[in-house]
Amino acid sequence: MHLPTPPPLALALLALPALALSSSCSSYAPLPSGSFNVTIPVGSSNRTFELFTPWSEFECDGYCVGPPRDPRPVVINWHGCNAHVPVVAYQEQVSRVEQSAADYGWYAITPVGAREKGIDQFGWNTYGIKCGSVFEDDFDFFDKLLEYMENELCADMSRVYSTGFSTGGFHSNALGCSRASKLAGIAPVAGSIGKLYTSSCDEGEGLDVVSFHSEDDKTVPYNGNFEWHSQPEVTKLWEDRNGCDLLDIPRITHLSATTRCTQRSCANGTVEDCTLIGLDHCWPGGRSGGFETPGSCKPQRGDVDATAHMFAFWEERWQAKQSERA
């Protein structure tokens, strides 16, 4: 049998004393590397998600199938309400979140929405939008995902993040409203919050939020409608919740012909709003999120890369908190 020659790093690790190889993750069962599906019971249903594990061959604890040596952050990536089957592959193609998770060494979870009976739409039931089977509780799904992470993954439970597109953006906002103590940050893309749910959102723990929304979004209008808050209202809601005051001066973090990202660091969390022009209902910087008109999500020169930006934002906020504590 031919064995590949290990690279110098692996040889160096083999030379270390045995003690150095044990880690805080060694009690976790091995899992393969890459992307695969997991099914868990939620209420009276079985729900599925794609799990991406971040380790590479020479980075695991004894097994080349994981676990990692130290606890890793987790990002949950909720797809939009759509019929773009396969929904998970489509969401990854649009967002490339697993690709960034690989670069950062994080776990990524891409849940599969329940299918609305008779209609080929998969999605979430959340604050201000119902998509998917009415019998499913997608807040409970999130709670069960947390239990799964805690029991099966060597996850850093103080660093669980939620992002998502459209209905998935609504769900990320809603989880921020109702589950802030479980989340280190959220990044809703082209989402909102139902006006009926304002009171569930305007009080509670703060958290780090970065939103992405285009003024030319025709599906989830930037300026809101009778049932959904406008993006400026959503941003204001998070600023109030994080205790922003007049001294928390907005800072521009990305400025181009198509995008302006404005950030305020406040008492209980940082709020950033990336507003685009010219883009439809899309994941900025993504391959394509276009529905009605194919090609309408073609990236424009200057668009913020939402995925790269949210990872950098969360990482930067985490580092800042570490140095505040030190």
Ligand X SMILES: *[C@@H]1O[C@H](CO)[C@@H](O)[C@H](O)[C@H]1NC(C)=O
Which of 273, 211, 202, 274 shows the shortest CA–CA distance to 242? Answer: 202
Which positions from 167 to 206 touch ligand X by CB under 6 A, shown as an x/- string? Answer: --------------------------------------xx
List of residues 6+ apart from 54 with CB closer than 8 A: 33, 68, 72, 101, 102, 104, 105, 106, 107, 108
202 and 116 Cβ atoms separated by less than 8 Å: no
Q: Can you tell me the distance from the alpha carbon of 125 to that of 129, in angstroms, rounded to the nearest whole number? A: 6
The CB-of-44 to ligand X minimum distance in angstroms stands at: 6
13 lies in the site for ligand X, by CB under 6 A? no
Contact between 35 and ligand X per CB under 6 A: yes
CB of residue 316 vs ligand X: minimum separation in angstroms? 21
48 binds ligand X (CB under 6 A): yes
Closer residue to ligand X, CB minimum distance, 20 or 267? 267
Identified binder of ligand X from the candidate list 12, 134, 267, 320, rule CB under 6 A = 267
- Binding string to ligand X for residues 56 to 95, with x set by CB under 6 A, is what? ------------------------------x-xx------
Q: Which is nearer to ligand X, 42 or 261 (CB)?
A: 42
Bridge partners of 273, per DSSP, are 211, 262
Within 10 Å of residue 140's Cβ, how many Cβ atoms?
Answer: 13
User: What gap in Å lies between CA 174 and CA 97, rounded to an integer?
Assistant: 20
Contacts of 247 (CB under 8 A, 6+ apart): none
Q: Which part of the chain contacts ligand X (CB under 6 A), choosing from 14-22, 43-51, 163-171, 309-317?
A: 43-51
112 makes contact with ligand X (CB under 6 A): yes
Closest to ligand X by CB, 4 or 41: 41
Q: Which residues are CB-contacts of 32 (< 8 A; sequence separation ≥ 6)?
A: 53, 65, 66
The CB-nearest residue to ligand X is 243
Contact 69, 59 (CB under 8 A): yes
- Nearest Cα to Cα of residue 36 among 104, 108, 96: 108
Q: Using the minimum distance from each CB to ligand X, give the nearer residue, 34 or 221.
A: 34
Nearer to ligand X, 88 or 220 (CB): 88
**Binding footprint of ligand X on the chain (CB under 6 A):** 35-37, 41, 44-46, 48, 50, 86, 88-89, 112, 205-206, 243, 267-268
